[in-house]
Amino acid sequence: MAKLYFNYSTMNAGKSAILLQADHNYRERGMRTLLLTAELDDRAGDGVIASRIGIQAPAARYGVQEDLFERVSIALEDGPLSCVLIDEAQFLQPAQVWQLARVADELKVPVMAYGLRVDFRGEPFPGSATLLAIADSLREIRTICHCGSKATMVIRKDESGRVVTDGAQVQIGGDETYVSLCRVHWREAFDGPSL
Protein backbone atom coordinates (compact mmCIF):
# COMPACT_ATOMS: atom_id res chain seq x y z
CA MET A 1 0.00 0.00 0.00
CA ALA A 2 1.32 3.44 -0.95
CA LYS A 3 1.50 5.95 1.89
CA LEU A 4 1.64 9.68 2.52
CA TYR A 5 4.77 10.52 4.51
CA PHE A 6 5.54 13.80 6.28
CA ASN A 7 9.17 14.48 7.18
CA TYR A 8 9.34 17.67 9.23
CA SER A 9 11.81 19.79 11.12
CA THR A 10 13.10 23.31 11.60
CA MET A 11 15.47 25.16 9.28
CA ASN A 12 18.92 23.67 8.63
CA ALA A 13 17.99 20.08 9.47
CA GLY A 14 18.76 18.72 6.01
CA LYS A 15 15.21 18.11 4.76
CA SER A 16 16.05 18.96 1.14
CA ALA A 17 19.27 16.93 1.27
CA ILE A 18 17.33 13.88 2.50
CA LEU A 19 14.70 14.40 -0.22
CA LEU A 20 17.42 14.60 -2.88
CA GLN A 21 19.10 11.48 -1.50
CA ALA A 22 15.79 9.59 -1.68
CA ASP A 23 15.30 10.78 -5.27
CA HIS A 24 18.83 9.63 -6.16
CA ASN A 25 18.19 6.20 -4.66
CA TYR A 26 15.02 5.73 -6.74
CA ARG A 27 16.64 6.95 -9.95
CA GLU A 28 19.79 4.89 -9.41
CA ARG A 29 17.55 1.81 -9.49
CA GLY A 30 15.91 2.89 -12.73
CA MET A 31 12.73 4.16 -11.08
CA ARG A 32 10.94 7.36 -12.10
CA THR A 33 10.08 10.06 -9.57
CA LEU A 34 8.26 13.37 -9.63
CA LEU A 35 9.90 16.20 -7.69
CA LEU A 36 7.72 19.17 -6.75
CA THR A 37 8.64 22.40 -4.99
CA ALA A 38 6.64 25.45 -3.97
CA GLU A 39 6.21 28.10 -6.63
CA LEU A 40 6.80 30.93 -4.17
CA ASP A 41 10.27 29.74 -3.09
CA ASP A 42 12.77 30.40 -5.86
CA ARG A 43 15.90 30.92 -3.75
CA ALA A 44 17.70 28.10 -5.58
CA GLY A 45 16.35 29.15 -8.99
CA ASP A 46 13.23 28.51 -10.99
CA GLY A 47 12.19 24.90 -10.47
CA VAL A 48 15.19 23.74 -8.43
CA ILE A 49 15.37 21.87 -5.14
CA ALA A 50 18.70 22.64 -3.50
CA SER A 51 20.31 21.82 -0.20
CA ARG A 52 22.64 24.09 1.71
CA ILE A 53 25.30 21.37 1.40
CA GLY A 54 25.47 21.98 -2.34
CA ILE A 55 23.37 19.29 -4.00
CA GLN A 56 20.38 20.08 -6.19
CA ALA A 57 17.96 18.69 -8.77
CA PRO A 58 15.40 20.12 -11.17
CA ALA A 59 11.81 20.02 -9.98
CA ALA A 60 8.38 21.03 -11.19
CA ARG A 61 6.82 23.92 -9.29
CA TYR A 62 3.38 23.81 -7.70
CA GLY A 63 1.13 26.78 -7.05
CA VAL A 64 -1.35 27.22 -4.21
CA GLN A 65 -4.37 26.68 -6.49
CA GLU A 66 -3.00 23.66 -8.35
CA ASP A 67 -4.74 20.30 -8.15
CA LEU A 68 -1.88 17.96 -7.28
CA PHE A 69 -3.96 14.82 -7.80
CA GLU A 70 -4.52 15.94 -11.39
CA ARG A 71 -0.83 16.88 -11.75
CA VAL A 72 0.28 13.40 -10.72
CA SER A 73 -2.42 11.75 -12.85
CA ILE A 74 -1.07 13.59 -15.91
CA ALA A 75 2.52 12.61 -15.02
CA LEU A 76 1.41 8.96 -14.88
CA GLU A 77 0.39 9.16 -18.55
CA ASP A 78 4.12 9.14 -19.37
CA GLY A 79 4.68 5.92 -17.42
CA PRO A 80 4.80 4.59 -13.86
CA LEU A 81 5.97 6.78 -10.98
CA SER A 82 7.74 5.17 -8.04
CA CYS A 83 7.41 8.20 -5.77
CA VAL A 84 6.31 11.82 -5.57
CA LEU A 85 8.71 13.96 -3.50
CA ILE A 86 7.48 17.35 -2.24
CA ASP A 87 9.87 20.04 -0.96
CA GLU A 88 8.67 23.02 1.10
CA ALA A 89 5.52 21.07 2.04
CA GLN A 90 4.54 23.69 4.63
CA PHE A 91 3.35 25.81 1.68
CA LEU A 92 0.79 23.21 0.59
CA GLN A 93 -2.83 24.18 1.04
CA PRO A 94 -4.92 21.78 3.18
CA ALA A 95 -6.90 20.74 0.07
CA GLN A 96 -3.62 19.89 -1.67
CA VAL A 97 -2.59 17.64 1.21
CA TRP A 98 -5.86 15.75 0.77
CA GLN A 99 -5.14 15.54 -2.98
CA LEU A 100 -1.76 13.98 -2.17
CA ALA A 101 -3.47 11.51 0.15
CA ARG A 102 -5.64 10.52 -2.83
CA VAL A 103 -2.45 10.06 -4.89
CA ALA A 104 -1.30 7.47 -2.35
CA ASP A 105 -4.75 5.91 -1.82
CA GLU A 106 -6.16 5.86 -5.35
CA LEU A 107 -3.17 6.10 -7.68
CA LYS A 108 -1.03 3.87 -5.44
CA VAL A 109 1.99 6.20 -5.65
CA PRO A 110 3.89 6.93 -2.42
CA VAL A 111 4.16 10.63 -1.54
CA MET A 112 7.05 11.89 0.60
CA ALA A 113 6.56 15.47 1.81
CA TYR A 114 9.34 17.47 3.50
CA GLY A 115 8.75 20.75 5.29
CA LEU A 116 8.62 22.92 8.35
CA ARG A 117 6.19 22.11 11.14
CA VAL A 118 5.81 25.61 12.63
CA ASP A 119 6.51 29.20 11.68
CA PHE A 120 8.58 31.81 13.57
CA ARG A 121 5.63 32.50 15.92
CA GLY A 122 5.34 28.84 16.91
CA GLU A 123 2.15 28.46 14.84
CA PRO A 124 1.65 25.52 12.48
CA PHE A 125 1.54 26.17 8.76
CA PRO A 126 -1.86 25.10 7.36
CA GLY A 127 -0.24 22.52 5.06
CA SER A 128 1.88 21.14 7.88
CA ALA A 129 -1.08 20.95 10.25
CA THR A 130 -3.03 18.92 7.71
CA LEU A 131 -0.04 16.66 7.04
CA LEU A 132 0.38 16.09 10.78
CA ALA A 133 -3.31 15.18 10.97
CA ILE A 134 -3.62 12.77 8.03
CA ALA A 135 -0.19 11.48 6.96
CA ASP A 136 0.31 7.75 7.31
CA SER A 137 3.83 8.22 8.60
CA LEU A 138 5.44 11.12 10.49
CA ARG A 139 9.19 11.50 10.83
CA GLU A 140 11.00 14.24 12.69
CA ILE A 141 14.34 15.21 11.20
CA ARG A 142 16.41 16.51 14.05
CA THR A 143 18.73 19.46 14.26
CA ILE A 144 20.22 21.22 17.26
CA CYS A 145 20.03 24.56 19.01
CA HIS A 146 23.22 26.45 19.87
CA CYS A 147 22.93 24.96 23.39
CA GLY A 148 23.05 21.39 22.05
CA SER A 149 19.38 20.60 22.75
CA LYS A 150 17.01 19.50 19.98
CA ALA A 151 15.80 22.49 17.97
CA THR A 152 12.03 22.45 17.46
CA MET A 153 11.35 26.15 16.84
CA VAL A 154 12.62 28.91 14.58
CA ILE A 155 12.94 32.67 15.05
CA ARG A 156 12.89 35.28 12.30
CA LYS A 157 15.39 38.15 12.32
CA ASP A 158 15.13 41.53 10.62
CA GLU A 159 17.95 43.15 8.64
CA SER A 160 19.62 44.41 11.84
CA GLY A 161 19.46 40.99 13.54
CA ARG A 162 16.56 41.76 15.90
CA VAL A 163 13.95 39.08 16.54
CA VAL A 164 10.67 39.65 14.69
CA THR A 165 7.55 38.73 16.68
CA ASP A 166 4.79 39.55 14.19
CA GLY A 167 4.22 39.81 10.48
CA ALA A 168 3.26 37.58 7.59
CA GLN A 169 3.59 33.85 8.19
CA VAL A 170 5.57 33.40 4.98
CA GLN A 171 8.78 35.25 4.28
CA ILE A 172 11.22 33.37 2.11
CA GLY A 173 14.72 33.32 3.54
CA GLY A 174 17.56 31.22 4.80
CA ASP A 175 20.29 31.59 7.41
CA GLU A 176 20.22 35.38 7.04
CA THR A 177 16.57 35.40 8.18
CA TYR A 178 15.92 32.35 10.37
CA VAL A 179 17.62 30.61 13.31
CA SER A 180 16.59 27.21 14.69
CA LEU A 181 16.35 27.02 18.48
CA CYS A 182 15.11 24.74 21.25
CA ARG A 183 11.82 25.81 22.81
CA VAL A 184 13.54 27.37 25.86
CA HIS A 185 15.79 29.61 23.76
CA TRP A 186 12.96 30.37 21.32
CA ARG A 187 10.80 31.61 24.22
CA GLU A 188 13.68 33.73 25.54
CA ALA A 189 14.29 35.22 22.09
CA PHE A 190 10.61 35.64 21.19
CA ASP A 191 9.18 36.78 24.55
CA GLY A 192 12.29 38.09 26.26
CA PRO A 193 13.86 36.53 29.36
CA SER A 194 11.52 35.06 32.00
CA LEU A 195 11.21 37.04 35.22
Catalytic residues: 88
**Cα distance between residue 178 and residue 164, in whole Å:** 10
Q: What is the residue type of 29?
A: R
Cβ–Cβ contacts within 10 Å for residue 82, how many? 17
Start-end of H helices in the chain: 15-28, 68-76, 94-106, 126-134, 183-191
